[in-house]
């Protein structure tokens, strides 16, 4: 494992490489430092326009700025190569179930599923998505960790292609923090708690913090963020369970995270108990709260030209526990996956090859919908370095904990988690009781579904 994957590459070292001079891709650069982890790559002949002309490509994605950008690139690629490209989108809340239903019926309606890395390992284990080992993706050209940690199964099979990556960070309104006399959010949980207290005492006409309590996906990460930056149990996935299917929060760090999350009720926006992602975005965008611990993906919304808070959003790493020897933070990728029953597999593979090129990455960058590149070569691009969140990227590289799950019923586990968290929040239950309820619920879920 290399220094960059261990997190030993400092922010200044990263920025020195990424800005101006960029990442050196030769013998002395980042790829040479990758070691053996990312060297698995197979050759594959690239399809020509003559091979592709008259073909069809069908994509399924969810409603998101990044996937809108991918669909646009696909249609342009299709136009240039004589391929008819059809794209269909579904709401994020329905995306997982849509793929499950299509896969269970062995449907060939779509060739490519645009997915969240969190679900891909389960899809691969079920035989619903095909191996990508034979299409010759330049896996050694990706940012270290994105392939091995997010796109391979346990046996090393490549089953997804990263398009962009994201991680949970601290998003904050610089003007609010400035008015409260705070230069930047605290780097420890205790320091951030002090900041929230100062924000509340400053009577800024906004809540110090956004908390999501009623979102099947968002609430899990909202609470899960409290577990980051700490020493994790061996084999922890999602920070929620371990490789041997035990609750990863059955420890003092897990209890402390629950205590903090429940205590933050006093700092949170009105209506937090019924808040979902949409409500969180609206609240932050309308200056209804000063701080939000959430995905870096939202920078595409906050930095858009029509954003009311463009230029006022600050970006920072989540707080961490000073005693943690190897703190890790939630990471995730948006990925292209190949339907195992694809009717146009060759065309789909050709498009995936295209998406691995610097040209495609530049198109994603310019779309405004993608906020993090996946190719190391893209990190040489000074256009990326202009992004206001860019310094945080350097801090995050090498410190991300994979978010992929081996539990094919993960949405059910999410719902179970949210039910217990919501009950604790609404009913004012003590953290110890909520923790035990979650532990019991997880153990019961794993037992009932045959995980051991």
Residue 33 has a pLDDT of 27
Token pair for residue 44?
Answer: 């594959």
- Is 364 buried (19+), middle (13-18) or exposed (0-12) by CB count in 10 A? buried
CA angle 347, 137, 29 (to 5 degrees): 150
Buried b (16+ CB within 10 A) or exposed e, 24-51: ebeeebbbeebeebbebeeeeeebeeee
d(CA 215, CA 333): 20
Instruction: Identify which of 7-16, 108-117, 359-368, 394-403 has the greatest average pLDDT.
Output: 108-117
Question: Cα 360 from chain centroid?
Answer: 20
**Higher pLDDT pick, 143 / 23:** 143
pLDDT at 104 over 90: yes
- Specify which residues 333 forms β-bridges with: 165
- Specify which residues 167 forms β-bridges with: 331
- pTM, full prediction: 0.85
**Higher pLDDT pick, 5 / 344:** 344
pLDDT at 260 over 60: yes
Hey, where are the domains in the chain?
A: 3-166+331-401, 167-330+407-448
Q: How many other β-carbons are positioned within 10 Å of the β-carbon of residue 212?
A: 29
pLDDT at 404 over 80: no
Q: Do domains 3-166+331-401 and 167-330+407-448 have the same CATH topology?
A: yes
pLDDT at 152 over 70: yes
Residue 376 has a pLDDT of 86
- Specify which residues 313 forms β-bridges with: 173
Which are the contacts of 431, defined by CB distance < 8 A and separation ≥ 6? 255, 258, 259, 262, 424
Tell me what the pLDDT averaged over the chain comes to.
86
pLDDT at 289 over 80: yes
CATH for 3-166+331-401 (3.40.630.30, 3.40.50.10490, 3.40.190.10, 3.10.129.10): 3.40.190.10
- Cβ-contact 199, 172 below 8 angstroms: no
CA angle 303, 306, 312 (to 5 degrees): 45
Q: How many other β-carbons are positioned within 10 Å of the β-carbon of residue 23?
A: 18
> 167-330+407-448: which CATH topology?
D-Maltodextrin-Binding Protein; domain 2 (3.40.190)
- Cβ-contact 237, 402 below 8 angstroms: yes
pLDDT at 133 over 90: yes
Dihedral angle, C-alpha 420, 421, 422, 427, nearest 10 °: 80
- Cβ-contact 2, 35 below 8 angstroms: yes
Summarised one tens digit per residue, pLDDT across range 209-256 is 999 999 988 898 888 888 777 777 777 766 688 888 999 899 888 898
pLDDT at 6 over 50: no
pLDDT at 290 over 90: yes
- Cβ-contact 236, 304 below 8 angstroms: no
Summarised one tens digit per residue, pLDDT across range 304-331 is 999 999 999 999 999 988 887 777 788 8
pLDDT at 32 over 60: no
pLDDT at 131 over 90: yes
* % of the chain at pLDDT higher than 90: 59
Token pair for residue 278?
Answer: 């949409």
Residue 44 has a pLDDT of 61
Among candidates 408, 335, 345, which has minimal Cα distance to 125? 408
**Higher pLDDT pick, 11 / 198:** 198
Which are the contacts of 441, defined by CB distance < 8 A and separation ≥ 6? 416, 417, 420
pLDDT at 78 over 60: yes
Which are the contacts of 320, defined by CB distance < 8 A and separation ≥ 6? 187, 188, 189, 228, 229, 230, 327
């Amino acid at each position: 494992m290399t220094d960059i994957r261990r997190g030993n590459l400092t922010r200044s070292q990263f920025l020195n490489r990424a800005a101006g001079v960029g990442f050196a891709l030769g013998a002395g650069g980042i790829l040479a430092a990758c070691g053996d982890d990312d060297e698995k790559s197979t050759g594959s002949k690239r399809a020509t326009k003559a091979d592709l002309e008259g073909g069809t490509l069908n994509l399924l994605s969810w409603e998101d700025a990044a996937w809108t950008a991918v669909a646009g690139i696909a249609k342009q690629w299709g136009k240039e190569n004589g391929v008819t490209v059809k794209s269909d989108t579904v709401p994020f809340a329905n995306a997982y179930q849509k793929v499950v239903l299509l896969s269970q019926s062995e449907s060939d309606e779509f060739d490519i599923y645009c997915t969240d890395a969190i679900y891909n390992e389960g899809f691969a284990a079920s035989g619903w998505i095909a191996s990508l080992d034979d299409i010759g993706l330049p896996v050694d050209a990706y940012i270290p960790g994105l392939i091995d940690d997010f796109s391979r199964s346990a046996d090393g099979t490549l089953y997804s292609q990263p398009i962009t990556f994201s991680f949970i960070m601290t998003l904050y309104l610089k003007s609010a923090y400035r008015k409260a006399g705070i230069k930047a959010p605290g780097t420890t949980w205790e320091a951030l708690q002090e900041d929230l207290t100062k924000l509340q005492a400053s009577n800024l006409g906004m809540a110090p913090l956004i908390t999501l309590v009623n979102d099947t996906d968002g609430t899990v990460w909202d609470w899960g963020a409290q577990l980051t930056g700490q020493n994790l149990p061996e084999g922890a996935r999602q920070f929620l369970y371990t490789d041997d299917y035990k609750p990863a929060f059955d420890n003092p760090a897990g209890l402390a995270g629950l205590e903090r999350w429940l205590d933050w009720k006093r700092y949170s926006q009105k209506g937090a108990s019924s808040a979902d992602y949409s409500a969180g975005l609206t609240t932050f965008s309308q200056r209804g709260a000063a701080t939000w611990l959430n995905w870096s993906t939202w920078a595409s919304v906050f930095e858009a030209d029509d954003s009311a808070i463009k230029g006022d959003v600050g970006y920072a790493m989540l707080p961490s526990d000073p005693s943690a020897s190897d703190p890790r933070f939630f990471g995730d990728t948006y990925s292209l996956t190949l339907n195992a029953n694809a009717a146009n597999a060759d065309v789909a593979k050709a498009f995936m090859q295209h998406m691995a090129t610097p040209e495609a990455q530049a198109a994603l960058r310019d779309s405004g919908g993608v906020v993090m590149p996946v190719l190391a070569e893209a990190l040489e691009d000074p256009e990326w370095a202009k992004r206001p969140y860019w310094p945080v990227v350097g801090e995050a590289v090498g410190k991300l904990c994979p978010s992929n799950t081996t539990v094919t019923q993960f949405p059910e586990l999410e719902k179970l988690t949210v039910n217990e968290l919501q009950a604790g929040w609404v009913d004012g239950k003590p953290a110890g009781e909520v923790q035990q309820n979650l532990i019991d619920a997880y153990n019961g879920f794993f037992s009932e579904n045959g995980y051991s």
